[in-house]
Structure 1
Amino acid sequence: MKVKNLLSIMLLVAVAFTLANCANQNKKLALRKIHFDYDQSYIRSDMIPIMDMNVKFLRKNQRHFSTKAIRNGNGLDQVTVEGHCDERGSHEYNYALGARRAESAKSYLVTHGVNPSRVRTVSFGEDRPLCSQGDESCWFTNRRAEFRVD
């Protein structure tokens, strides 16, 4: 009886470690967003390490990752770069600025070896804020590019 209990405990511990390991790997697989200065679309110097990690992930996983792509046999289907803005400025201006931000991030990815045919861009302007307070910290949070594997 003691042996069965010990084996059950060992099995539970092994499962817990396996699940924790999987959760950590999923966190590592996530592409990280970058942030921009007010009214700018250039990639800030403090965002370069994040972009480099995103490039590394995308280059490493161009033949893997997407379930749809694996079914189709062609690796990573597509990466969508989403450009976002804070609410200051007109809707039209922010839509155009979001597009420039997405294109800037795409250009960095492509320049560093990501296949351009796998990267598309979209702008959401100020339509999808992460934060709704009207202060600089919140505005900074909303001025971003996000990366989504489709």
Structure 2
Amino acid sequence: MPEELAWVAPEGSWASSAARRRNMQAIRSRDTTPEKLIRRLVHARGLRYRVAARPLPDLRRTADLVFRPTKVAVFIDGCYWHGCPEHYVPPRTNSGYWSEKVFRNIERDRDTDRRLREAGWLVLRFWEHDPSDSCAQKIADAVISRRTGPPGP
């Protein structure tokens, strides 16, 4: 193979090969199939929301659905990237790097939950394998409950 056609990992690249790099770049961070399905079901229940928005402007993290008036942040977590206790399978190649990355994601998720709760937000987290109808119903119930608030005196 001519040298100019050989794949060379960019400086500091995490990719172990050109194929792995393409595969990792193709993974979506938003608009996944589970997210779109849940959004469609929540929208059909008459609720409106922001997509991939920051619940707190000074926090560089986004929730999958954000209901600002009621302060509800929804996250639909992928089993691999967020370490699902049922479905996470440690990688066979470069396992140290990827396992550490997933561990950091889990820590960041817990930190995000804590910061949002401290700011008065309700955080709802679902796994990508959770039934979409059930997730949408829980989201709708939470938003409507926070909209109406506790009964008055």
- Name the one with the larger helix percent: 1
Larger Rg computed on CA atoms: 1
